[in-house]
Amino acid sequence: MSNPKKKSLSDLGGIMYSTDPSFSYDNDSEAVEESLPNNQQDLRVTLDRKNRGGKAVTLITGYRGSPTELEQLSKVLKTKCGVGGSAKDGEIIIQGDFRDKVVLMLQKDGYKVKKSGG
């Protein structure tokens, strides 16, 4: 089992150092998010231009599941659109304006999808 990278001291749960040689840190607060079936996923597809130097990206939010499944879905969408992007924190970013194409692809896979925003 691999440990995810800790980003700040608060991620450690307040324990920074222990002199007890038999101490082991238990991370009970970290729950693995269960994946919902496609028809129960409620995804939103928006066009985002903020903080991107004027470049438009298609943003898919609301995905609930494991990071590996999010990455797989992201890879499929990026491949079918023929562009780059990224996936993290339940969001998929596709470079360019592919809202209509992404909505159709996700609906075909059985996801509940809505276009939101401009």
Q: Is the pLDDT of residue 9 over 90?
A: no
The answer to whether residue 75 is domain-embedded is yes
The tokens describing 38, both together, are 């496609």
The answer to whether residue 11 is domain-embedded is no
What tens digit of pLDDT does each residue of 40-77 get? 888 999 999 888 888 999 999 999 888 899 999 999 99
How high is the pLDDT of residue 17? 67
The answer to whether residue 73 is domain-embedded is yes
Residue 27 to residue 50: CA distance in whole angstroms: 36
- Position 3 confidence tier, pLDDT thresholds 50, 70, 90: low
What tens digit of pLDDT does each residue of 94-118 get? 999 999 999 999 999 999 999 988 6
The answer to whether residue 7 is domain-embedded is no
The answer to whether residue 26 is domain-embedded is no
The answer to whether residue 38 is domain-embedded is yes
Residue 11 to residue 5: CA distance in whole angstroms: 9
**Domain count of the fold of the chain:** 1
The answer to whether residue 78 is domain-embedded is yes
The answer to whether residue 1 is domain-embedded is no
Q: Domain containing 95: what range?
A: 33-115
What tens digit of pLDDT does each residue of 69-91 get? 999 999 999 999 999 999 988 89
How high is the pLDDT of residue 39? 81
| CATH code, domain carrying 59 | 3.30.780.10
